């Protein structure tokens, strides 16, 4: 046992990036997930967490939520900032705590605006999906709305330059829904992801208003061989207003712009800009049917056509 312990500790020393020192505390992923659940209660009161709310209890409920979120989030932001500074002796704990508190207040002040965006996202899902019985179903059950809700929260923290936490949030959504939206992407109003599984939206993607995308869509970068040297560059496409992108489509490149009102068909691969109002689709492949029943049906159809002629 002693030798095993020694071998494992030695591996930490050989691979120092695979562990963190106690003097540099990391955010707690489990607590961040708790914060996500609390924030969803704040975004959609009565749908998640405490139910049977009314006018007399709503303010009390919201106040308690805000206090709990603020306390948990400020602690996690503080940990993230400390980790970012590492063991820098010039980094004052009090200064970091004050910065974390300011970030949290600014973030929480954005909740009404985030709710306005999400109300339009819910409307987009309801309007765009005949299978939606009502908006409550969209809020309760649609994976696209869950992913977009978490993205919109994480995006505000991303804009505040909070390290680690925005990515932890969006990767939680990715794990839950199969939808991968980077917190740095810019997404407009009335956005709907239908079905959702396999959707990828990269960091520098820009999406306009009234955009609808289906499962398996990738809005990605042409190449990542440049690595960190490409960090500050626009690597992902721009999707203008009123665009629909159907399942399996792949759109790549920072200079690629899909013009307003365009429709991108399933399974296309695009690396160049598309003018506004354009429909892009691939030619239907030739289908081969095999089997005795199919051959019989084909022969009968041929005979019918011969008789008609």
Task: Give the model's pLDDT for residue 202.
Answer: 97
- Domain 19-180 listed as CATH 1.10.3130.10: yes
Q: Is 243 left (phi over 0), alpha (psi -120 to 50) or beta?
A: beta
pLDDT class for 300, splitting at 50, 70, 90?
Answer: low
Answer yes or no: pTM beyond 0.85.
yes
Q: Over 69-102, what HEC string results?
A: HHHHHHHHHHHHHHHHHCCCCCCCHHHHHHHHHH
pLDDT class for 7, splitting at 50, 70, 90?
Answer: confident
Mind listing the pLDDT tens digit for each residue in 28-44?
999 999 999 999 999 99
Distances (CA, A) of 220 to 26, 43, 49, 272, 287: 30, 29, 36, 13, 30
Task: Give the model's pLDDT for residue 63.
Answer: 92
Task: Give the model's pLDDT for residue 296.
Answer: 61
The residues near 267 (Cβ < 8 Å, ≥ 6 apart) are 247, 248, 249, 282
Contact between residue 197 and residue 215 where contact means Cβ atoms under 8 Å apart: yes
Angle ∠(8,9,11) on CA atoms, nearest 5: 65
As a whole number, mean pLDDT of residues 276-304 equals 78
Task: Give the model's pLDDT for residue 294.
Answer: 61
- For the cut 60, the answer to whether the pLDDT of residue 87 exceeds it is no
Task: Give the model's pLDDT for residue 134.
Answer: 96
Task: Give the model's pLDDT for residue 79.
Answer: 94
Please report where in the chains the tokens 């095993």 appear, as a residue. 4
Work out the mean pLDDT of the chain and round it to a whole number: 90
pLDDT class for 85, splitting at 50, 70, 90?
Answer: confident
pLDDT class for 102, splitting at 50, 70, 90?
Answer: very high
Q: Where are the domains of the chain?
A: 19-180, 185-282
- The CATH superfamily assigned to 185-282 is Hexapeptide repeat proteins (2.160.10.10)
Mind listing the pLDDT tens digit for each residue in 121-155?
999 999 999 999 999 999 999 999 999 999 999 99
């Amino acid at each position: 046992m002693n030798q095993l312990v020694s071998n494992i500790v030695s591996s930490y020393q050989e691979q120092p990036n695979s562990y963190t020192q106690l003097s540099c505390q990391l955010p707690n992923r489990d607590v961040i997930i708790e914060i996500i659940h609390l924030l969803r209660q704040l975004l959609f009161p009565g749908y998640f967490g405490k139910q049977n709310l009314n006018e007399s209890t709503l303010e009390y409920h919201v106040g308690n939520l805000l206090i709990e979120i603020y306390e948990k989030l400020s602690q996690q932001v503080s940990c993230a900032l400390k980790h970012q500074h590492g063991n820098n002796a010039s980094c004052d704990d009090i200064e970091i705590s004050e910065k974390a508190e300011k970030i949290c207040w600014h973030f929480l002040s954005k909740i009404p605006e985030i709710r306005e965006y999400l109300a339009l996202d819910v409307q987009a899902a309801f309007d765009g999906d005949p299978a939606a019985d009502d908006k409550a179903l969209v809020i309760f059950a649609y994976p696209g709305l869950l992913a977009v809700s978490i993205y919109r929260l994480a995006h505000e923290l991303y804009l505040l330059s909070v390290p680690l936490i925005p990515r932890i949030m969006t990767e939680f959504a990715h794990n839950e829904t199969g939808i991968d939206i980077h917190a740095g992407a810019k997404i407009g109003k009335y956005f709907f992801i239908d079905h959702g599984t396999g959707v990828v939206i990269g960091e520098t993607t820009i999406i306009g208003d009234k955009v609808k995308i289906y499962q398996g869509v990738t809005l990605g970068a042409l190449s990542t061989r440049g690595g960190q040297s490409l960090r500050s560059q626009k690597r992902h496409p721009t999707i203008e207003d009123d665009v629909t992108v159907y399942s399996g489509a792949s759109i790549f490149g920072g200079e690629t712009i899909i013009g307003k009102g365009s429709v991108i068909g399933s399974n296309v691969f695009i690396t160049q800009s598309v003018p506004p109002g354009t429909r892009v689709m691939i030619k239907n492949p030739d289908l081969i049917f095999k089997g005795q029943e199919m051959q019989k049906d084909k022969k009968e159809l041929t005979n019918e056509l011969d008789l008609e002629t």
